[in-house]
Chain A
């Protein structure tokens, strides 16, 4: 049986690989493959770590202070903790020029989802309207992936935005704050549904509410952001580990893929790879190639390949990402309540705001503040730090954040190309993004409606605290090599086979022709499993 070579070990790549391996294929995975370190004191909660570790400051802030957020810096409310810095490490010589976009990419084993917040949100029929496939074609793969990764959640009011699929285990325990918000929603449901188009329900997350295989159930240690020490919170490196148990799987880490080479029949002949630290490019022969490096890295490889072969390439247009707006709130009735360190750290509730057609709904993830670092919050309060400390310690259990996500669609002025300026021998990726006209009004309207919803839930939004994140911050990139029934250049078939090169598949977010407001990662995995099952 032929060998399939996959570039990238992220959410798409590992599920594509696992499906092929289960069908008996030989799979080779090429990856830079940076890894992190094993978690310290895996049974301890965050407050215990501060008291028990020999050097807690180094654990939380890092040797190089990468976990420190200072005022006047370029970071947002939160940086990534030192334990997750490996996820964003880049090989030498990889540069990107940007305009209107602040991209993040990963070369870690497991990819960007090594640092995800585990939100699992299946697309519905409305979300798939621009896709050349229906929900029924994707549904079995949502179930299959849910069984692999472990998904907790339940059917509730959010079913209007997110279908219920197979293999969903019971939801995680709610902390007191989330429970209080949900109870308040239930007693105001009618008004919130009819007047504000707002629906609230339990989060669906790839975190185990009961043990599965050798993974433990969530221990509510509050360490999600630092890296779940019990592996209850799913990351793609777990599936990579599963793939490595197959005889037909060959993992090739320490390799940075620059481009693919074509033969005279315009079939992919080989990959050009080098060490992430630099060095000479070497060819790696391939039979069938699947790009699963993530939208931007796959675009980089595709464009560099065309540039090497033809001396140039048209830009890839249609780049999409979810605009995110962060809305912090205070739940007034919980002021003075002690905070619970025994809690799941990421979002436990979700809300959907219907603002027009169903596929344009606004998706909100409600995170109650549990074990997050205090100093990024204290410095942003309009107070001196001593007063801010008094306020924070007494409202900690009342603080929360709604992360609003907005849909995006393909537009010609959002594009990815290559720039040779100053890099004649080795062009760099150039990313340009133009927000849609009228976006500001759309965001403002949604935030205004959310403020009213929060008031109904007994919460207030602090003045001046709403923060619109830069494009690129959500890292839900998609759309540059979209699925299309018509065989147009720079598109792929409904089974993600390139219309340009017949032994090339693209199985990451590049192929999505529309980006709903919800996180795409679960659909990336399901679609990759679908392609492996249906096209091979």
Chain B
């Protein structure tokens, strides 16, 4: 049972890592991710029915959709807590710390230009979430899933 849970967490870590930094995690990152769940299980346990829905959604929808919707509708949700925990591991270990230290634009104008498509993606993610998440939540409540 324990090894099944560990395998789930490893897969979850890999998926979240690809979302956050666009690549697979080092084994060092995965070990800390799994260990954190063992040290503080209460921090990563769902606290509400909507938390459960977001967890299910995180497996089937793009993570950006669940992350964006969580930020505005349930910022303390378990999915977002897991994402922030993984982000904390990534920012404090090499070589992924670079992604939080080194700018990849050289001028304010370039920053604003590159922010536009990201803003559109964020709005799209919120829109998809607004369409998909309420019926999914309702369905889960009705079916008791």
Contacts of B99 in A (CB 8 A): 389, 393
Indicate if the CB atoms of A70 and B84 lie closer than 8 Å: yes
Residues of B contacting A72 with CB < 8 Å? 75-77, 80-81
Q: Are A384 and B122 in contact (CB under 8 A)?
A: yes
Q: Are A385 and B84 in contact (CB under 8 A)?
A: yes
A51 & B94 in contact (Cβ 8 Å cutoff): yes
B97 contacts A61, CB within 8 Å?
no
Partner of A397, one of B64, B103, B122: B103
Q: For the complex formed, measure the closest distance between the CB of A494 and the CB atoms of chain B, giving whole angstroms.
A: 50
A47's nearest neighbour on chain B, judged by CB, is: B101
Q: Is A455 an interface residue when CB atoms closer than 8 A count as contact?
A: no
B127 at the interface (CB under 8 A from A): no
Overall SS of chain B's interface: helix
Indicate if B5 sits at the interface (CB-CB under 8 A).
Answer: no
Partner-binding segment picked from B6-14, B106-114, B130-138: B106-114
Contact of A336 among B28, B32, B108 (CB under 8 A): B108
Instruction: Enumerate chain B residues within 8 angstroms of A56, measured Cβ to Cβ.
Output: 92-94
Tell me if A373 and B91 are in contact (CB < 8 A): yes
A402–B89 alpha-carbon span in the complex (Å): 28
* Chain B positions within 8 Å of A386 at CB level: 19-20, 64, 67, 118
Flag if A384 contacts B64 (CB, 8 Å): yes
Q: Which residues of B contact A394 (CB under 8 A)?
A: 103-105, 111
Q: In the complex, how many angstroms separate the beta carbon of A500 from the nearest chain B beta carbon?
A: 47
Closest to B80 in A: A71
B91 contacts A374, CB within 8 Å? yes
Size bin of chain A's contact surface: 35 or more
Contacts of A384 in B (CB 8 A): 64, 67-68, 71, 122, 125
Give complex CA distance A151, B80 in Å.
Answer: 43
Stretch at the interface among A238-246, A375-383, A423-431: A375-383
Is B122 within 8 A of A393, CB to CB? no
A68 at the A/B interface (Cβ < 8 Å)?
Answer: yes
Of A51, A72, A390, most buried by chain B (CB within 10 Å of CB) is: A72
Q: A70-B81, A332-B108 are in contact. Are A378 and B71 (CB under 8 A)?
A: no
- A389 proximity list for chain B (CB < 8 A): 20-21, 87, 99-100
Q: Tell me if A204 is interfacial: C-beta within 8 Å of chain B.
A: no
Instruction: List, in ascending order, chain A residues with CB within 8 A of B46's CB.
Output: none
Partner of A375, one of B91, B111, B118, B121: B91
B88 touches A385 (CB 8 A): no
Residues of chain A within 8 A (CB-CB) of B67 are: 384-386
| Structural contact, A336 and B93, CB atoms closer than 8 A | no
Which residue of the partner chain, among A59, A337, A379, A392, contacts B84 with CB atoms under 8 Å? Answer: A379
Does A306 have its Cβ within 8 Å of any Cβ on chain B?
no
Q: Is B143 an interface residue (CB 8 A)?
A: no
- Is B61's CB within 8 Å of the partner chain A? no
B92 with A61: CB separation less than 8 A: yes
Chain A residues in 8 Å Cβ range of B106: 336
Complex interface bits, A379-418 against B, C-beta within 8 A gives 1, otherwise 0: 1001111110111111111000000000000000000000
Contacts A/B (CB < 8 Å), 20 sampled = A50-B92, A50-B94, A57-B28, A61-B88, A65-B43, A65-B85, A69-B84, A70-B85, A71-B75, A71-B76, A373-B92, A374-B91, A374-B100, A379-B80, A384-B67, A385-B83, A386-B67, A389-B100, A390-B115, A393-B103
- Interface on B for A, CB 8 Å cutoff? 19-21, 28, 32, 36, 39-40, 43, 64, 67-68, 71-72, 75-77, 80-81, 83-85, 87-89, 91-94, 97, 99-108, 110-111, 114-115, 118-119, 121-122, 125
- 7 residue pairs, one from A and one from B, having the closest CB atoms: A72-B76, A384-B68, A375-B88, A60-B92, A335-B108, A51-B94, A374-B100
Given A70-B76, A390-B115, A395-B111: 18 more A-B contacts, CB < 8 Å: A50-B97, A56-B94, A69-B88, A70-B43, A71-B81, A332-B108, A336-B110, A379-B75, A379-B84, A382-B71, A384-B122, A385-B83, A385-B87, A386-B20, A387-B121, A390-B114, A393-B104, A394-B105
